[in-house]
Structure 1
């Protein structure tokens, strides 16, 4: 495979893959040949066939999309945990940074150059008592805003906050080592577009971080999905415009730009 996509400073590509739609046994066998022995063993440890399928497609998805940018065969990429316990590329020919997320049937991967990036995708129809989670873990600013909304809007706003928070801690690569109430998101009014870039951050006094180095986006791709993206940009590049492109992939078969919403 020859690389056919280019990333420059300020470019962000957000990829999606609908794993449940990939059912060709021949194609799935090709995916298996891309995995390392360690990845195969991990994929096989999943108890349920659906989870094994998702894990296989996920590994093929990230390997294939990375090869769209660099002259490296999908099976030749190697990964290691970086300083922040976050997956990084070994001996990459480009300073590619990426982050994966998945939910029922949907996988997302954000790719950029140099900067720390995190993404999260959630199925908002999952059966959880989400408001009790918010009351226990969100910041006071967020819980006040959330519970001030009409009851029929609170569940959707919970997932706005949840996906943004997940994308932030994934960009750091520190997981729940960062308490969720140490930082707050301030979400601007949603317009008719399926992307909301009007997102700001603030931090508890004891947390050493700086709102001006962060850019975040919310995505409303369908009635049942929410996605968020957070980018930590070097302060010297804060004045750069960020160019966001959404891509859909069937690993080893096709990729194409997509528009939101999906339905």
Structure 2
């Protein structure tokens, strides 16, 4: 019996702690960036934020070069109407690469898929669960009524974790569409009732910052809800069939979770997790 075709998404987990600040290294990394990128890095007021922004952009370039003979400094980017980054049209056609990235405190997450289908949408988000976040005021403003009811049905000790689960999933969806917060977060909802958990190994296996195996939920349902403005129209939310969307939720550790959403794909999605650290960048000393 023939094996069913699948679409692989590579997830790169990249720690951003104790970043090398030697002048030679920073000068070389800066030489990889375009004038526009250098300008964006310089807009951060705090030196640590500038350093992180520099490494985020250079790690992305280094990882992309693992999939193509294009050198890190040669990658060119464009931006959607709401600011979503993507490869230039020429490089997208040359490589078939689609990516999305997210940064939260100590980690960068880069999701990458390779496909000739340019209609596929990819979104990724990583979240740090903060103890001081007022989850109830936020969820009442941004979550659907069903999501709120499901969350309140949990034990109080579990509610904060589920809040950040939903927030990561919602961020991954609006990043996949490229619409950002122009899409109401109440206009779609996630359902965990049919979700399945599996352990995924990190390649190469790492210790310390995160486990060698990452627990990932798949088969998370997504439901589109008509907003009040749409109630008297025949417009279907995003004109997408539910089967075209697949979402995943993973946990690096107690404090960090991530979500990945892929749209426009009629094949089962499989995830491959890998790690990339600053030590994997070229030695410029």
| TM-score class, shorter | 0.7 to 0.9
Structure with the greater relative contact order (CA < 8 A, sep ≥ 6): 1 or 2? 2
Q: Deviations over 1:156-215 (max 9, x none)?
A: 000110000000000001011100010000014674741111301111134233211000
TM-score by length of 2: 0.80
The equivalent residue for 2:251 is 220
Q: 1:247 aligns with which of 258, 261, 274?
A: 274
Q: Which runs of 5+ in 1 are unaligned?
A: 1-7, 256-263
Matched, 1:87 2:88: no
The equivalent residue for 2:28 is 30
Larger radius of gyration: 2
Q: Which runs of 5+ in 2 are unaligned?
A: 200-214, 231-236
Of 242-251 and 49-58, deviating more is: 242-251
TM-score by length of 1: 0.86
Match of 2:45, SS?
coil
In the TM superposition, 1:72-221 aligns within 5 A as 72-82=70-80, 85-90=83-88, 91-92=90-91, 93-113=94-114, 114=117, 115-125=120-130, 127-188=132-193, 191=197, 193=199, 194-205=215-226, 206=230, 207-208=237-238, 209-221=240-252
Q: Is the 8 A contact 2:220 2:248 kept in 1?
A: yes
Match of 1:21, SS?
coil
Are residues 127 and 27 of structure 1, via their aligned partners in 2, closer, same or farther at CA, if it must alter by over 3 Å? Answer: farther
Match of 1:179, SS?
coil
Are residues 48 and 224 of structure 1, via their aligned partners in 2, closer, same or farther at CA, if it must alter by over 3 Å? Answer: same
The equivalent residue for 2:41 is 43
Q: Is the 8 A contact 2:196 2:218 kept in 1?
A: no
- In 1, the alpha carbon distance for the partners of 2:64 and 2:198 equals 32
The equivalent residue for 2:64 is 66
- In 2, the alpha carbon distance for the partners of 1:81 and 1:88 equals 6
- In 2, the alpha carbon distance for the partners of 1:252 and 1:53 equals 15
